[in-house]
Amino acid sequence: MTAFDDHDGRKAPAALASQDLSSPAMRPMPFALSRRNALRAGIGIVGATLVPGIGHMGLAYADDKPAIGTWPAGSQGSSVFIGAAVPLTGTYAVQGEDERKGLELAVEHINTNNPLMKALAPKINNGVLGKKVELLVADSAAKPNQAVQAEQTFINQNKVVLMFGSTSSAVAVALNKFAQREKILYMAGISGSNDTTGKDCVRYGFRQGFYGETAANAIGPVLLAQFGKNRKAAFMTPDYTYGHTTTKSVADYLTEKGGWTVVTNQVSPLGTQDFSQYLTNIGNSGAEFLINVNWGRDAVLSTQQAKQFGIIPKMTLVVPYQIPFLAKEVGPDLTAGVFAATDFWWTLEDKYPLAKMFVESFQKKYGYRPEWGAENAYVSLGHWARMVTEAGTFYPPDVIKQFEKGETIPSLLGDVHYRPQDHQLVRPVILVRGKAKKDMKNDEDFWEVIGIVPGDKLMQAPDAFGCKLGDYT
């Protein structure tokens, strides 16, 4: 329904409010009002009252630093707001909902001094720097324009101090640029594109999760060891930055290190439902491996339909960038024996105490074991809370510099650190293999962890993908 996006009623008030706030002189005169202008003026007035102190921002705060972004206005009340734009509808709705729950749990834990959150951010004290943290969530539908509009609303109405979200690197890249322009911190959430901390990196953006290049370098050696050299692979790629960069990273590894051949790469638009034409091309390609880079519902449908066409099990399925809930949706018959790289899997609780605490409290609250969308969201907020409390201020350049110290900090998977040059977290990538139904110990025991690969060996040189971070102010 793309044609009607701009008419979505939910966004209109924000856009109007921002116009009216930024240019009070443009408000309609109180005479001869049309109905629409009256409405617009009303929204402007309501919007203005929601933002106390807008007229004397910067003067009221007797700090030696000039106002920047939503600072200091965003942290002058009794609470600070985090604005999240995650997909709650569309192709990535299932994964976005998992992210939302991870955020919700993190905020609850920050405000209640939960021991797990204390481990990630020791200086929280029933909140951050004396402020309660409040979470605002909007549906991005995995569309960049919708995500940016949602965040703009949050900035106008709530002066958010942190933006979060994506699931779709197209959104992450758009919010990266938006964050840099608005000078508001942004944590990317699920984003698999090399570009997010590569050519589209920004000073104000950070990424906790793994991505195409680290996934490729983690899973590549396993594939070569398992299946040998000089094999033939078909790729399925979603047509945007995540798909293209991840396919390139995986294909480069397999061709350069293993002499594999990419016999076809079927590129499909995000939100494809019928994959028959792509699968027909793959069926006629002579490939031995189906490397499916599709994600979310696209991955579910393309995998199910590959089975319908007999491509699975004729070809061996590989999932380089694991999709939360894929195994649950397609069933263990299709994922048994499949190799995948991922950010987190709940059975890691056996090895990492913090992971165990997370899985337990998540399961208690939501009734299922968290996927890596929730883990990624939770840890991202934990790291933000740590950096803000360590810096002792919400002033964004100081928080950024705290991240850029590159100190060793905890995560659910042991010690990690942010790389100052590109703001990418150096963190392990988890390798898993799908379990057969008979080997599953419970109804969520879909994957067996076969490797935990340290992040530093998996990453490209900080400048290899063209990252230039930009200014602090």
Partner 1 sequence: MINWSNFIAQCFNGLVLGALLALISSGLTIIYGTLGVLNLAHGAMFMLGGYAGWVAYTYTGSFLVAVAAGALFVMLVGLVTERLIIRHFYARPPEDQLLVTFGLGIVFVETVRFFFGSLSKTVPPPSLLTGITNLGFMVYPTYRLGLLGIVSVALLALYFVLYRTRIGMIVRAGIEDSVMVDSLGINVYRVFMLVFGIGSMAAGFAGIVNAPVVSIAPDVGDAILVQTFVVVVIGGVGSFTGAILGGLIAGEIVSITSMFNPAYSYVMLFIAMTLVLVLRPYGLLGSAGRE
**Of 227-246, which residues contact partner 1 (CB under 8 A)?**
239
Nearest-angstrom CA–CA distance, 146 and 160: 17
Q: Is 309 in the site for partner 1 (CB under 8 A)?
A: yes
Residue type, 376: N
Cα angle 145, 148, 151 (rounded to 5 degrees) comes to 150
Nearest-angstrom CA–CA distance, 451 and 165: 28
Structure tokens given for 252: 């480069």
Min dist. Cβ of residue 34 to partner 1 (A)? 17
Q: Smaller CB distance to partner 1: residue 255 or 308? A: 308
Min dist. Cβ of residue 334 to partner 1 (A)? 11
Nearest-angstrom CA–CA distance, 293 and 169: 13
Structure tokens given for 190: 């699920």
Task: Identify which of 246, 207, 115, 213 has the alpha carbon closest to the alpha carbon of residue 416.
Answer: 207
Q: Is 439 in the site for partner 1 (CB under 8 A)?
A: no
H helix or E strand, kind and range, residue 397: helix 396-404
Q: Smaller CB distance to partner 1: residue 91 or 393? A: 91
Min dist. Cβ of residue 310 to partner 1 (A)? 5
Nearest-angstrom CA–CA distance, 183 and 216: 33
Strands 162-164 and 132-139: unpaired
Min dist. Cβ of residue 284 to partner 1 (A)? 4
Per-residue CA distances from 249 to 113, 141, 252, 322 (Å): 41, 26, 5, 15
Min dist. Cβ of residue 149 to partner 1 (A)? 17
Q: Is 366 in the site for partner 1 (CB under 8 A)?
A: no
Q: Smaller CB distance to partner 1: residue 113 or 280? A: 280
Q: Is 26 in the site for partner 1 (CB under 8 A)?
A: no
Min dist. Cβ of residue 315 to partner 1 (A)? 14
Nearest-angstrom CA–CA distance, 307 and 312: 5
Q: Is 367 in the site for partner 1 (CB under 8 A)?
A: no
Min dist. Cβ of residue 13 to partner 1 (A)? 17
Residue of the chain from 215, 301, 388, 426 that contacts partner 1 (CB under 8 A) = 301
Strands 232-238 and 261-268: parallel
Are 381 and 80 spatial neighbours (Cβ–Cβ below 8 Å)? no
Nearest-angstrom CA–CA distance, 112 and 296: 33
Min dist. Cβ of residue 161 to partner 1 (A)? 29
Min dist. Cβ of residue 386 to partner 1 (A)? 32
Q: Smaller CB distance to partner 1: residue 112 or 276? A: 276
Nearest-angstrom CA–CA distance, 386 and 408: 12
Dihedrals phi, psi of 416, to nearest 5 degrees: -140, 170
The window from 49-57, 248-256, 308-316, 453-461 that contacts partner 1 (CB under 8 A) reads 308-316
Q: Is 305 in the site for partner 1 (CB under 8 A)?
A: yes
**Of 326-345, which residues contact partner 1 (CB under 8 A)?**
328-329
Residue of the chain from 308, 454, 457, 473 that contacts partner 1 (CB under 8 A) = 308
Total number of residues binding partner 1 (CB under 8 A)?
A: 39
**Of 261-300, which residues contact partner 1 (CB under 8 A)?**
266-269, 271-274, 276-278, 280-281, 283-284, 297, 300
Min dist. Cβ of residue 33 to partner 1 (A)? 22
Q: Smaller CB distance to partner 1: residue 153 or 303? A: 303
The window from 39-47, 101-109, 301-309, 439-447 that contacts partner 1 (CB under 8 A) reads 301-309
The window from 184-192, 305-313, 406-414, 438-446 that contacts partner 1 (CB under 8 A) reads 305-313
Residue 308 neighbours by CB distance under 10 Å = 11
Residue of the chain from 14, 94, 185, 391 that contacts partner 1 (CB under 8 A) = 94
Pseudo-torsion of CA 139, 192, 270, 151, nearest 10°? Answer: 30
Residue of the chain from 17, 73, 97, 362 that contacts partner 1 (CB under 8 A) = 97
Nearest-angstrom CA–CA distance, 380 and 164: 9
Min dist. Cβ of residue 301 to partner 1 (A)? 6
Q: Is 310 in the site for partner 1 (CB under 8 A)?
A: yes
According to DSSP, the residues that pair with 162 across neighbouring strands are 82, 185
Are 86 and 99 spatial neighbours (Cβ–Cβ below 8 Å)? yes
Maximum alpha-carbon separation in the chain: 79
Per-residue CA distances from 34 to 12, 25, 40, 86, 329 (Å): 17, 18, 10, 36, 52
**Of 53-92, which residues contact partner 1 (CB under 8 A)?**
88-91
Nearest-angstrom CA–CA distance, 391 and 388: 5
Binding site for partner 1 (CB under 8 A): 1-4, 7, 88-91, 93-94, 97, 239, 266-269, 271-274, 276-278, 280-281, 283-284, 297, 300-301, 304-305, 308-310, 325, 328-329
